[in-house]
Structure 1
C-alpha cells in the first residue's frame, strides 16, 4: 500500500493490498478500495463508496458525491463500482437516493472518458464506453457493451439496451433498444449497431436476418404490437431479436425510441 503524504484517508476507509493513493487525494468515510486500485492524484472519493480491484481513477474526478436530488437530506446511500475500470479526469459519479434503490451501480471493464457523469441510482453494465462529457440522468439503466458518444445525454429513467451505440451530442429522451444505433437531437433510432454486431462475430447472412427483423419491426405494416408478436415468433432463433423483444415488452418509464421519434 502506498499513500502519498499529502493524501487524506479517513480512518474508517478500508484499503486492500497494493492500493496507490496519489498526491492530494481525499478518501472519505466508509470507502472501500479493492486490490490494486490506483488514485493518480487530486481524486476525491467522498464517502460510502466501493471501488473494485484494478480500477484507475485520474485527477480531479469526484466519486461517490452526494446525489443531485432535491429530496436528498443526508441519508446513508451508496455507490458501488466494479473492477478494472478506467475513470478519467473530472468524472463525477453520484451515490443513490432513498427515492431510488439507495445505490448507484457501475459494472466492470469500462472506460469513462473526461467529464463523464453517472447520476444517482443509475445502473451501468460491463464493458461500457462513455466518451467525453457523456451524461446519465438519475435512474438511467445502461446495458453491457454500450457506447455513449461525446456530449450525449440520457434522460433520467432512460434505458439503453445492451450493445447499443449513441452518437455524439445526442439528446436521448426515449429508450434505445439493444443493439440499436441512435443519434440526433432529439435522438432517433437510425438502425442497428452493425459495427458492434460484426465485432461480435456475426457473418453477412446473420446480419441480413437481423436487419430483416428490424425492418419488419419498425417499418412493417399494421399495429406495432402486432408486429412485435410476429417478429418474436418468426425470429425466435436469434438471441439478439429475443432480447430486443423482451426489452420492448418489459417497458420503462420513458417511451421507446423509434425511427420517427421527435
Structure 2
C-alpha cells in the first residue's frame, strides 16, 4: 500500500481515522472545558467564603466591645497585618492594609479549601502567576505615585555615577529590571511548590498501603490525613510570606525617611501615629 493513498482518499479507512481523531479531539476539548469549569467553581467558592465571613464580621461592628466571634477574628487579623505594614513599610503602610488583607484572605482561603477537596486554586501555577502580576504591578504603581515616573525608574540604576561609570549604572539598571520581573516568578513558584507539593505528598502517602480487596488504582489507607496539621500550618505561612514580601517590595519603592522618627526620638510620642484607628 502506498502511504499517499491515505491522503488521496484511495484507501477506504482514512475517513474512519479522521472521525476517530475528531472524537478524540472533542473528548480532550470537553475535558479541558470541564477542568476549567471546575477551577472556576472552586475560585467562586473561595470568593463566596470570604464574602460570607466578612459579612458575619461586619455584623458585630456596631458594638463598643466586639462580642461577635467573627468580628474578634477580623480585629485580630487587622492588628496582625497592621504590625506587618507599619513594622516593614512604615507609618504610611497603614494605607495599604486593604490590599494586604485582600491578598492574605484570597491566598489563605485558596490554600485552606485544598484541605477538603483534591484541588486548591493556589496549586495552579497560572492563578499564582496572576496574583504575582497583580502584586508586582501594584508595587510599580505605588512607586510611580511616590517618586514620579522618572524617579521610579531612576532608582533602578542605583547611585548616580558620572563619566565612564555611566556604563556601570546602565548594567545595574538592566539587572534591576530583570530582578523586578523575576519577582513574579519567585512569588508564583514559591506558592505553587508548597501547595502543590502538599497535595502530591498526601496522594503518595495514601498509596503506600493498598488493601487487597480494593480495585487496582483505588486509594489505599488514607495515612495522608496525618499531614493535615502540617498542611494547615503551610496554608497560614504561605499567605503570610506572600504578604510579607509584598510589604518589603512596597517599602523599597515608597520609603519615607521620617516614618520611624517618632520611634528613634526619646520622649516624642505622636498620638495620631501610635494609636492607630480605633477598633472599639
More strand by share: 1
The TM-score with structure 1 as length reference comes to: 0.22
Higher-Rg structure is 2
Instruction: Identify, as 1 or 2, the structure richer in helix.
Output: 2
The TM-score normalised by the length of structure 2 is 0.21
